[in-house]
Amino acid sequence: MPASAAALCAGPRTGSWSVAWRSRPKSPPPAGRRRRAERRRPRRGFLRHRARPGRPACAACRFCVAPPAPAGHPPSRQRSSRSTSRDRHRRACDALYRRSGGAVVRSARVSCGDGVHRLKTIPNILTVDLEEWFHIDERLIPPGEWDRLPSRVEENARALLDLLDACGARATFFAVGWVAARHQGLIHEVHDRGHEVAVHGYLHQAVAPMSSEEFRADLRAARQAVEGCTGEPVLGYRAPRWSLGGAPGGGRRGRASGIVYGALDVLIREGIRYDSSLAPIVHIGDPAWPLDPHRIDRGGGSIMELPPLVGRRFGVRLLFAGGWALRRVPNRILLKEIARRNARGVPAVIDLHTWEMDPDPPRVRLPFIVRLAHYGGLKGYVEKLREILSDLPWAPARDYLAGNTSWSKEVAQ
């Protein structure tokens, strides 16, 4: 037997020459090949575009690099395996760059003194439904009983306002007219602290069962209550429970029965500039509707539609930011979906509720699905929301309309 073969077969017999051949020690690659491989594979903890000078910014942020580690702190690749918000953002940015082929969007890098890397992209649209804890469904808790129930809207709304101020975020508050008429000081405070106030119906009733005359009366009552506090014209509207899509509290056989075009015509004639009521998802809308903000043209004019954040997973559309979905979806998935939307130059629209700031709101007897959607995920919600608001820039819907120059020119004409 040759010496090389004897050396390969030394030690315990494997029972097969091929196994012995596979078990032989591998020689290291040549130095030149090793150097090229090291250049292609950057150090762990840095984005790939960091390893290539002159490469454009990634799709989620501009020159997104990790800030220097504090003195005495081990390098990032030796830190604990527990993922931080900055680490998750680095991975999301790197993946977006590969998918977008090196596209650069309007963004900026922000240096923070505390060493936390913060993502700055195009402003996203933050909306808040300003309503009471008992504004669940007028069929379950009739409006005639509302005055006898304890109110918590001011306490919850002020807690949310303080959180928005701490995170530097501004929002559009869709106020229920019934709340605006009874808590005028709260509406004044929301407006004075730099937020937009729009309308969310007067009695938080579904739009689909209403006639055009009933809907017009409800809209005017809510608008009068809000404008009497702010002194400014109302620009936006959101239907209670997304019912402008023909889904009066859950849809029809799991799918909305179509857009209530008569309600859109009323909104246009009443001077409403934008609507945020059509969810492109089953149960509360229709998956065939557009995902991004778009214009709806009617015979009497046009209106801008701002749908909530919906993404596609496993071949179906899923709601990512709206009530129970925002409370249940992990932040790493939500931030990745928002970054993917921003990479196309489109803002994400998320929806909050003031009563969600209360970790233990008064409980009422509800059907199982409604109870799960209404009360699930409230524990720890404030800290989850704080991370989302701190990592991204948020603005009211009116700022998006003002920045959309083509839309503004068409409306002016």
Between CA 227 and CA 399 the distance in angstroms is 19
Percent of the chain whose predicted confidence (pLDDT) is above 90: 43
Q: What domains appear along the chain, each with residue ranges and CATH number?
A: 42-68+79-120 (no CATH), 124-412 (3.20.20.370)
118 close to 112: Cβ distance less than 8 angstroms: yes
Give the pLDDT band of residue 26 (cuts 50, 70, 90): low
Per the rule left: phi > 0, alpha: psi between -120 and 50, beta: everything else, 323 is: left
**Taking residues 306-325, what's their average pLDDT?**
86
* Nearest of 64, 396, 25, 50 to residue 235 by alpha carbon: 396
> How many other C-beta atoms are found inside a 10 Å radius of the C-beta of residue 343?
23
Q: What predicted TM-score, i.e. pTM, was given to this entire model? A: 0.70
Q: pLDDT tens digits for 154-213?
A: 999 999 999 999 999 999 999 999 999 999 999 999 999 999 999 999 999 999 889 999
Instruction: State the alpha helices, DSSP H only, in 41-149.
Output: 85-100
Residue 288's pLDDT is 84
Residues 6+ away with beta carbon under 8 Å from 269: 300, 301
Percent of the chain whose predicted confidence (pLDDT) is above 70: 65
Between CA 238 and CA 306 the distance in angstroms is 10
Q: What is the 3-state secondary structure (H, E, C) of 348-374?
A: CEEEEEHHHHCCCCCCCCCCHHHHHHH
Q: pLDDT tens digits for 246-294?
A: 755 444 444 455 688 899 999 999 999 999 999 998 878 888 889 999 9
Residues 6+ away with beta carbon under 8 Å from 143: 178, 203
305-308 contact pairs (CB < 8 A, 24+) = 305/274, 305/275, 305/276, 305/277, 305/278, 306/125, 306/127, 306/274, 306/275, 306/276, 306/349, 306/397, 306/400, 307/276, 307/278, 307/279, 307/280, 307/349, 308/276, 308/279, 308/349, 308/350, 308/351
**What's the whole-number average pLDDT of the chain?**
76
Residue 410's pLDDT is 43
Q: pLDDT tens digits for 337-396?
A: 999 999 988 999 999 999 999 888 888 887 887 787 778 888 889 999 999 999 899 999
Residues 6+ away with beta carbon under 8 Å from 95: 336
307 close to 289: Cβ distance less than 8 angstroms: yes
Residue 136's pLDDT is 83
Residues 6+ away with beta carbon under 8 Å from 274: 235, 236, 237, 303, 304, 305, 306, 397, 401
Between CA 171 and CA 150 the distance in angstroms is 26
Q: Which amino acid is at 242?
A: W
Determine which helix (DSSP H) or strand (DSSP E) holds 219, and give its type and residue range.
Answer: helix 212-230
Top mean-pLDDT range of 45-49, 224-228, 239-243: 224-228
Q: Is the pLDDT score of 45 beyond 90?
A: no
Q: Which amino acid is at 165?
A: D
Residue 86's pLDDT is 55
Angle separating helix axes 331-343 and 381-391, nearest 10 degrees: 30
Top mean-pLDDT range of 3-17, 65-79, 254-268: 254-268
